[in-house]
Structure 1
Amino acid sequence: MKKQLLALVATLAVGASALAADPKLVINPDQPGPVIHRNIYGQFAEHLGTGIYEGMWVGPESKIPNVRGWRKDVVSALKDLKVPLVRWPGGCFADEYHWRDGIGPRNKRPIKINTNWGGVPETNAVGTHEFFDLVEQLGAEAYVNGNLGTGSAQEMSEWLEYMTGEGKSTLTDLRRKNGRDKPFRVHYFAVGNESWGCGGNMRPEYYVDLYRQAVTFLKTPEKNRPLFIASGGHDARTDWTEVLAKGLKGVPFDAISHHGYTLPTGKWEKKGSAVGFPEAEWISTLAHTQRVDEWVRKNTAILDQHDPARKVGFYFDEWGSWYDPEPGSNPGFLVQRNTLRDALLAALHFHVFHAHAERVKMSNVAQMVNVLQAMILTSKDQLVLTPTYHAFKLYTPFQDATSLPVRIDDNPVYKVGAVEMPGLSATAARGKDGKLYVGLVNANANQPAELTVQVGSTSPKAARGQLLTAAAMDAQNELGKAPQVLPQAYEAQAAGGRLTLKLPAKSVLVVAIEG
């Protein structure tokens, strides 16, 4: 009996030791995967609240320093992010936007009501020419969302001719009259947006017929042919992907869009607060990325069945946190605070999209300025960079990098109540500069973590990069106050033949591995 008891104690000790094993980061540099397309770090600017007007566009006559109406400070900050792509004009707004309202002298453009977002006047001061001026200032690609909901195939066709036409026609002459001789470069064009909801409450079968009709007439010069995007589903839905993959064969069809937002409570009527939240809503928000991964997996598996050559992309072109609106703000403006939680949420989304880089060649965070999970917050002539901005900045080396297999052995479990998730998340890639980059997230709000690093069969010598963390879960950067969330330099050296990375609780780390 005594021997049996001793054996049981020994077994329990081994089990406890195994459970307490230090996590190990294992990277396989000799098994390169697909390229992580830079457009995974795409942005989204909709005519919504102060996301464009005031936030970015102040007009040429404004005392706020600007270039042809676009704020210099905002454009400079976005250029530092290497913004690769901007999606415009929506969103739900796109299916009520008529492009002719946004051309010609600004003081003669019609004023309409933005029925989707706050019921406020839409001046149409920002239209086609202004949008392309913005993307050209940023050095970004243009993603134009066409109006299928209240528009027509003819309207979209004429808009594309206006933007891309090279010869002499009434529309190209009109573009020249409005100040643009050279055609605009349209990289992506979507036929409708959220056609299952605000874009028309359609069935996917009906949308397929409308898409097939419309895309037949969307003609451009060959060298300026955009990739055509079909409006797909959202969240866990796969029916749109199934119907589109079957029904759009034989017509121009380059990608399906998909949308999915993160709500701490999972309930639209009471989403949860952007600040002052409990740890239960911290983990529910971050753990939601596991569902995003599942949505991508299920939808891309359907595409694999119908498109084994993987020519059709799966674009997650709206994602981000969505909280209850800031008290005292117009609920239709979708104003919310941005905290450290949002930075970790962004990084975890990047990891998901990297893991599916063969299909996911674009994603667009919602949105760039002052709306939802914004990069930048502005008020009059003031500007502040959000924690989400800094997360995007940390991950710029992953744009067009080559993904590498990575895993975390003995990954601790982070659990709060009934919700649990892996405590650590990792992604790895070979950058265009030849360096080996690793992105890490420690989701645990309380416990730091240490990982030993193995690259192939070797232990590297050092790691250098930047760390993002803060004392509080809801630490934020507020206008007119000292920022609480800023990147800090990070360095680790191997000791005793082992490289160990130390991650504080609730942190994001991006490093280049050396040796």
Structure 2
Amino acid sequence: MKSKSPFLLLLLFVYNVHAQNTASLVIQSKSDHTVSRHIYGHFSEHLGRCIYDGFWVAPGLDVPKKDRIRLDIVEALKKIKIPNLRWPGGCFADEYHWRDGIGPRDQRPKMVNTNWGGVTEDNSFGTHEFLDLCELLHCEPYVSANVGSGTVEEMAKWVEYLNFDGVSPQSTIRTQNGHPAPFKVSFWGVGNESWGCGGNMTPAFYADQYRRYATYARDYPGAPLKRIASGANSFDYNWTETVMKQVPVNDMWGLSLHYYTIMNGWNDKGSATSFDEKQYFATMKNCLLMDSLVTKHSAIMDKYDSRKKVALVVDEWGIWTNVEPGTNPGFLYQQNSLRDALIAGTTLNIFNNHSDRVRMAELAQTINVLQALILTNKEKMLLTPTYHVFDLYKVHQDAAYLPITLNSPAYKSGNEEIPAVNVSASRDSSGAVHISFVNLNPKEKITVSTSLDGVQWKGVTGQILTSAKFTDINTFEQPDKIHIVPFSGAKKQGDKLVVELPAESVVVLELK
């Protein structure tokens, strides 16, 4: 066989390199549903320094406050249009008894937080404080009720306390505690992780318990409930199958799903700040499993709910690493790198692309815990790279979902590979189209050629989040090392949009 000439080999090499760094994308203008703003929700548990020393600070701390609610944090979360906040847990929810957190604070009983560090909980942050916080944030509260160690009566009376507009024992106590008007809380979780810390139940037993608790969680006038059943842990498809089979579709608004991205395994979840490219790749591969999880759980739900009335609520997600050295292992305090921003952007793209079924999600957790948006150190506060992703992606909230078809080059590590690029798109009420891109390849820029089927546009602007290394972080000494800057790498070529995505970047474009 005649050997190929060196010139031909060079051409083949250049072609292959070019092909490896090129993606094609088609965005269609037809939309049949919106991307719910509630996909962009957050989670705040009585865990570590999320509530205490996060939202709720010591009276003497020299920061702007309303009561003891820290207002610089409130303003930061309002900027990203936080749509909902889940509370009080998490595992803590199923040992929390709401009556301990109402009334004069100096008379509230203390308790042991057995799940998270064995610390004493003084109950100074309770129902009224949480709802005051939600009012300041202009967001909807999402209350997780105690099914694990609580009673049907306890949940029923909490709903009455919050939602009944009339004369009753619970509304009278609410009035005595300073709030005559009902709070009208819609989102209610009926238990949390009932397969584990919420009671170690079987799915069949939980389904029966759900029906019992939900029966007595009443819809009061002007306050219909959106009841959310405790759903599966990651790959437990049998849990979803059983609950969907045993609970009538009309009896629940949503069914939850929990999945955390980890680098290695639960016994050694890896460092938040010190990892190599092989570990980075493994983390991103695990992050992308969210797409198949949502797809498979949704397919099971479709069998019993073809009209997609029940929302898939991913109310715990994010990267979980080992705690920062020298910190309380029960407080789950971890730093937040560029890698975590790429995980956030990728996961939100997955949710957007499944927004016909995924209509609510909550990142774990808001402040000082797991993949936090905000870190604090006494008076100091910083915004993490993940916060900036939510700032970029807020344009998708309640916008019309635009279907996409993406052909991405591979990002390879050894014998494994994952798609290098992921994307989602939407059109807002003004007609502007927003496209969010993530390039997971930490070394190579990728050119994306995009056809926009039926989309009329004249110009493009953009913003980008990136940094020199995927281990880069924001610190209290250098809080703005990673931040959003303008992006000029997109242009119109004929009727196509051509974008040059830098390595390890999150880019959001606006087309008008």
1:139-288 to 2 correspondences below 5 Å: 139-249=138-248, 252-265=251-264, 267-288=265-286
Amino acid at match of 2:239: W
User: 1:424, CA displacement in angstroms?
Assistant: 1.0
Residue 43 (structure 1) aligns with: 42
Shift of 1:497: 6.5
In structure 2, the residue matched to 1:57 is 56
1:43-90 Cα shifts (integer Å, max 9, x gaps): 000000010101111155643220121101000000001000000000
Q: What letter matches 2:209 in structure 1? A: L
Q: Does structure 2 conserve the Cα–Cα contact (< 8 Å) formed by 1:283 and 1:419?
A: no
Q: Give the counterpart letter for 1:470 in structure 2.
A: S
Instruction: Select between 363-372 and 280-289 the one with higher mean Cα deviation.
Output: 280-289
State the distance in 2 between where 1:199 and 1:489 align.
45
User: In terms of mean alpha carbon deviation, does 170-179 or 443-452 score higher?
Assistant: 443-452
Pair 496,292 (structure 1): closer, same or farther in 2 beyond 3 Å? closer
Is contact 2:184-2:222 (8 Å) kept?
A: no
Distance 1:458 1:210, change over 3 A: closer
SS state at 1:231 partner: strand
Aligned-pair CA distance for 1:107: 1.1
Q: Which runs of 5+ in 1 are unaligned?
A: none
Residue of structure 1 in register with 2:25 after alignment = 26
Per the alignment, do residues 418 and 271 of structure 1 end up closer, same or farther by CA in structure 2, a change over 3 Å counting?
A: farther
8 Å Cα contact 2:28-2:455 kept in structure 1? no
Q: Partners of 1:205 and 1:444 in 2: how far apart?
A: 43
Per the alignment, residue 336 of structure 1 pairs with 334
Structure 1 residues 288, 181: closer, same or farther in 2, change over 3 A? same
Aligned partners of 2:365 and 2:373 also within 8 Å: yes
Question: Secondary structure of 2:72's partner?
Answer: helix
Aligned to 1:502, the other structure's residue is in SS state strand
Report the CA distance between 1:386 and its aligned residue: 0.2
Moved more, 483-492 or 87-96: 483-492
> Is 1:188–1:228's contact at 8 Å kept on the other side of the alignment?
yes
Give the partner amino acid of 2:90.
G
Cα gap change, 1:213/1:20 in structure 2, threshold over 3 Å: closer, same or farther? same
Contact 1:196 1:203 in 2 (8 A): yes
Retained in 2: the 8 A contact 1:404–1:430?
yes
Distance 2:405 2:109 in 1: 55
The residue type equivalent to 2:242 in the other structure is V
RMSD between aligned residues: 2.2
Corresponding residue for residue 321 of structure 2:
323
Matches within 5 A, 1:109-508: 109-249=108-248, 252-265=251-264, 267-409=265-407, 411-456=408-453, 461-491=458-488, 492-494=490-492, 499-508=497-506
TM-score scaled to structure 1, two decimals? 0.94
Task: In structure 2, list runs of 5 or more residues that go unmatched.
Answer: none
What displacement does 1:24 show? 4.3
Equivalent pair of 1:401/1:432 in contact (CA under 8 Å) = yes
Shift of 1:303: 0.6
Q: 1:461 to 1:250 in 2, by over 3 A?
A: closer
In structure 2, the residue corresponding to 1:224 is in which secondary structure? coil
How far apart, in 1, do the equivalents of 2:68 and 2:416 lie? 47
Whether the 8 Å CA contact 2:249–2:310 is kept in 1: the answer is: no
What percent identity do the matched residue pairs reach? 42
Q: Give yes or no for contact 1:460–1:499 (8 Å, CA) kept in 2.
A: no
Residue 89 of structure 1 corresponds to 88
SS in 1 for 2:324: coil
Normalising by structure 2, report the TM-score. Answer: 0.95
Opposite residue 430 of structure 1, the aligned amino acid is: R
Taking a change above 3 Å as real, the CA distance of residues 12 and 489 of structure 1, as seen in their structure-2 partners, is closer
Question: Quick one: distance in 2 between partners of 1:76 and 1:339?
Answer: 23
Shift of 1:470: 0.2
SS in 2 for 1:328: coil
Q: Specify the code of the residue in structure 2 equivalent to 1:53.
A: Y
Query: Hey, what's the Cα distance between the residues in 2 that align with 1:12 and 1:470?
Result: 32
For the Cα contact (< 8 Å) 2:29–2:403, is it kept in 1?
no
| Secondary structure of 2:231 counterpart | coil
Q: In 2, Cα distance between the equivalents of 1:70 and 1:261? A: 29
| Cα displacement string for residues 175-227 of structure 1 (whole angstroms, at most 9, x for unaligned residues) | 00001011012121011100000001110011111111111111131420220
The structure-2 alpha-carbon separation of the partners of 1:251 and 1:151, relative to structure 1 and needing over 3 Å to count, comes to farther
C-alpha distance in structure 2 between counterparts of 1:139 and 1:50, whole Å: 22
Answer whether contact 1:75 1:137 (CA < 8 A) is retained: yes
Q: 1:482 to 1:43 in 2, by over 3 A?
A: closer
Tell whether the 8 Å contact from 1:407 to 1:426 is kept in structure 2 after alignment: no
Cα distance in 1 for partners of 2:84, 2:396 equals 15
Supply the AA of the counterpart residue of 1:433: S
Judge conservation of contact 2:203–2:243 (CA < 8 Å) in 1: yes
* Alignment check: 8 A CA contact 1:460 1:494 kept: no
What's the secondary structure of 1:130's corresponding residue?
helix
Equivalent pair of 1:24/1:454 in contact (CA under 8 Å): no
| Mapped partners of 2:186, 2:60: distance in 1 | 31
